[in-house]
Homo-oligomer: A and B are copies of this chain.
Amino acid sequence: MAKYMDMDTLRFLLFECHEVQKLLEAPRYADFDQDALNILLDSFKDFADKELYPYFREMDEQAAYYKDGKVIVHPQLEVVLKKMAELGLIGANYDHEDGGMQIPESIFYSLSHIMDSANNNVTGYPSLTTGSGRLIVTFGSQELKDTYVPKMIAGEWGGTMCLTEPQAGSSLSDITSSAIPTEDGYYKISGQKIFISGGDHEYCSNFVHLFLARIDGAPAGTRGISLFVVPKFRPTADGGLEDNDVFTAADFPKLGQKGYVTTHLVFGEKENCRGWLVGEPNRGLKYMFQMMNEARISVGVGALSIATAAYYASLQYAKERPQGRRLSDTGTKNVEADQTLIINHPDVRRMLLLQKAVIEGSLSLAVESAKYSDLVHVTEGEEHDEHLLMLEILTPICKTYPSEMGRVSISNGLQVLGGYGFTSDFVLQQYYRDIRITSLYEGTTGIQSLDLLGRKVTMKNGAALKLLAAKMQESIMAAMAYKELKPYAMDLGEKLKLAQKVIGHLLQFAAQGKFERFTADATVFMDFFSNITIAWQWLKMATSASKALSDNTGTQKAEFYQAKIHTMKFYYKYELPKTLSAAYTLVAEDELTIQKEEEILF
């Protein structure tokens, strides 16, 4: 079995760096201790080794497809859904009363990391079922819960999120699917939804679509959108199922994640499609967005996990492939000597270290963000509000950084293999294709960047930003205790000042009412600010590693911790300096991307 993720690093992040075991003091998690969490992680890794990883390439080669109204997917999906339900892992993060295991989100995402690293073509099916079921348990009536959730967490029915429509895309204001109230309590539904992941296949006997639509007469824009449960087959009083006029019109063949079907669904073509309102009318998008942090962190975890598997694939190759020779001090190579392994060439090491820096930095941020999501559940008052602020500001970064830099990381991994990386004999080309969707899922990078700069940085008079800066400052102080880390801690301090300067500059535009100018370079700002955020995570990791080395409290070998410190240094030499150029761009005067009436640019 090839290595596709590192359990030691995951455990280091959970229990040494971010100390999620402290969460377990809360009554909500009374069922668990650290040993129980470790057993859960290990048993899931075992499941992933046996049932997920071995099918990863097959699922790509035998892509999901649509034929005659049916969607055909790889048969291993049936096994996976059954076993995951048996292990209690669909809806594992729900409350006990809703049939869940009430596990912390930080552990739930850790399981996702294992799963996505093993086989990212499978994860979406159970994850979307968990996510859409969560909307029902959080906002739905008892009747909706009782009708749908037990079958969903049993893996028998699949769940989906039905947002996108052909004419609307990212612009949810323009959703036109309609819901007409009837006297019998249900709504008559009609509309078309595209890009619906896992929207149909033969291994679930029903699909439960969480569906955005406008109730007749609702206001324009996002304020007139409501959320419905629209099943493919509607449950009847006698426990049977009857057709609900939901039709799979097509699938979308695509660049990657070919094992994970993307469907085009048509609702109510025969005027016989019924939906049930979730919560109150016109609050649909609000409900969706309350789940959005989790969905976005999930995509980030997916991206970093694909990049993690790619890293280990390229690392294995680099450790086995001899080629060329190291340069001697005379600047020549001894052609009579044996070839060296390519891992010994500086440029190959640079590519491997970049990958390690990106994936572990991203995983650390994901664990920290998930921890805030847990803390939001188990705290109250000001403390709760602070954790929510942290979750809100970190989420767009948590989603975007691994999606963007994971792609760069995988391209480096492919490059490590030379020409072989481009061939289908090796798996790198699949990772290169699969990860490309993550910059588009759940809000594109452009949308995430607008969210970060236009909403999160400014919200509550910059409260989230101040809080984050204070946390970074704390980490800087903690790192200063270790002589080896001091220069890096000071470097991060400088970059934090730079960030404050850049943000101050940009906010002037908002203050002047130049909103388009304020956010015009939001994506560059994302690049800039997420770089600093990941540098912060690396400083935290290096501090934990230094602590473990100095007081012998660590559970890993010394080399493990030394490698973390080395990778932190790599990040600070090769990645963090990129903030200098981004800052230059962000404060430059030229306005070049805002449409002017007269110009013909392209």
Contact = CB atoms under 8 A, between A and B. Distances in A.
A415 B432 contact: no
A419 B440 contact: yes
Interface string A545-584: 0000000000000010011001101101110011111101
Nearest to A340: B595
Contacts of A35: none
Select the residue from A421, A433, A593, A602 with max chain B CB neighbours within 10 A. A602
B600 A339 contact: no
A362 interface: no
A410 to B, nearest CB: 11
Interface stretch (A12-20, A228-236, A320-328, A533-541): A320-328
A515 B330 CA distance: 7
A559 to B, nearest CB: 4
Contact of A424 (B253, B339, B350, B523): B253
Contacts of A97: none
Interface in A239-253: 252-253
A27 interface: no
Contacts of A222: 335
B595 A569 contact: no
Given A255-B432, A424-B255, A164 B577 contact: no
B252 A423 contact: yes
A171 B600 contact: no
Contacts of A595: 326, 343-344, 346, 349
Interface in A348-368: 348-350, 352-353, 356
A425 interface: yes
Given A330-B513, A573-B588, A422 B336 contact: no
Contacts of A590: 569, 572-573
Interface string A284-305: 0000000000000000000000
Contact of A422 (B256, B324, B346, B573): B256
A54 interface: no
A170 B323 contact: yes
A520 interface: yes
Nearest to A557: B600
Contacts of A164: 419
A195 interface: yes
A437 B581 CA distance: 29
A254 to B, nearest CB: 5
A interface, over-half SS? helix
Contact of A171 (B324, B522, B577): B324
A445 interface: yes
B347 A446 contact: yes
B424 A254 contact: yes
A421 to B, nearest CB: 7
A168 interface: yes
Nearest to A430: B255
Nearest to A321: B169
A601 B350 CA distance: 12
A177 interface: no
A329 interface: yes
A206 interface: no
Nearest to A173: B335
Contact of A602 (B333, B563, B585): B563
A21 interface: no
A345 B346 CA distance: 42
Given A595-B344, A601-B563, A326 B573 contact: no
Contacts of A572: 590
9 contacts: A195-B419, A254-B429, A327-B519, A407-B411, A415-B445, A415-B446, A432-B436, A433-B433, A559-B599
Pairs A-B, 5 closest by C-beta atoms: A221-B335, A346-B520, A255-B429, A577-B581, A577-B584
Given A329-B514, A559-B600, 10 more contacts: A171-B339, A256-B422, A331-B510, A346-B519, A346-B593, A349-B595, A418-B440, A418-B444, A566-B599, A572-B590
